[in-house]
Every structure is written in structure tokens, then in C-alpha cells.
């Protein structure tokens, strides 16, 4: 797959509010793009995630409270979640699409999400 085919025809899927910034999610055929404003308002951070990651998290954690660390350890899918940041982006994408909720509570420094 190439960038051109991976992200052609992206559609806006929604927005998720983080602690310090908003995350805008765009969906393509096989992947999703999570975009946030950078430190300077003229730059953006974009992270691609595999769409299958949303389904894995939904199946394994439905109805439960999770952190990105829980997803990384318990999903057992290193091909989809290489690190905590990948898991966090999947969770924000799920919030943007209405499949999860970001809670105010914390587990240490980790953000807690409720999977619907």
C-alpha cells in the first residue's frame, strides 16, 4: 500500500477532546488518520492507525474501562498496537466515532476510556 491509495478519499469521522488539544479523525477504506494541532497553530500532527484496531478494542474491551496501556498489553496485537501512542490514537478515534467515552478519572497519569 502507498500513501496515495491509503488516504485517498478520506472522510471526516468526528472529533475527540483530549486534555490539551482536540483530535480530528478522518476515515479511509483501510486506515484512519488522527490529526491534532501542533504546538504552533500553523503545524499539525497526523497519525495513521489501522481500522482493524477499533474492532479489536471493541470486541475485547466492550463495557470496560481501559487505558492505552491496557490495550497495548491485553489486546495481544503487536501488529496493530506497536506502542502506547498507537493504542491512545485508536482510543481517541473510537471517542470521535461514538464507540467510546473519555472519562475524567485517571489511572496514575493514564487517561481512562469507557468502551461502549
Q: What is the pLDDT along the chain (116 residues), one digit of tens a residue?
A: 577 777 778 999 999 998 888 999 999 888 899 999 888 778 899 998 888 888 888 989 999 999 988 888 887 888 888 888 899 999 999 999 999 999 998 888 889 999 99
Q: E strands of the chain, at which residues?
A: 11-17, 22-27, 31-37, 44-50, 65-66, 100-107, 110-115
Which domain range does residue 24 map to? Answer: 3-115
Give the pLDDT confidence score for residue 9 in this predicted structure: 84
pTM across the whole model: 0.90
Assigned C-alpha cell, 109:
497519569
H-only helix segments in 38-83: 52-61, 68-74
Beta bridge partners of 49: 32
> Residue for cell digits 491509503?
6
| CA distance linking residue 54 with residue 74, whole number of Å | 14
For the chain, what is the domain count? 1
Q: Which residue has the cell 504552533?
A: 40
What pLDDT sits at residue 89?
A: 93
Report the pLDDT value the prediction gives residue 11, as an integer from 0 to 100: 92
Summary count for the chain: helices (H), strands (E): 4, 7
pLDDT of residue 99: 94
At residue 1, the pLDDT reads: 56
Q: Contact at 8 Å (CB) between 66 and 115?
A: yes
Amino acid at each position: 500500500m502507498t500513501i496515495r491509495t491509503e488516504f485517498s478519499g478520506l472522510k471526516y469521522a468526528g472529533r475527540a477532546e483530549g486534555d490539551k488539544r482536540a483530535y480530528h479523525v478522518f476515515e479511509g477504506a483501510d486506515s484512519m488518520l488522527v490529526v491534532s494541532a501542533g504546538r504552533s497553530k500553523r503545524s499539525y500532527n497526523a497519525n495513521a492507525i489501522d481500522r482493524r484496531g477499533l474492532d479489536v478494542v471493541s470486541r475485547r474491551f466492550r463495557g470496560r474501562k481501559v487505558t492505552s496501556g491496557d490495550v497495548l498489553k491485553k489486546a495481544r496485537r503487536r501488529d496493530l498496537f506497536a506502542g502506547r501512542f498507537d493504542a491512545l490514537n485508536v482510543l481517541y478515534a473510537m471517542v470521535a466515532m461514538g464507540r467510546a467515552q473519555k472519562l475524567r478519572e485517571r489511572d496514575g497519569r493514564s487517561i481512562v476510556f469507557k468502551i461502549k
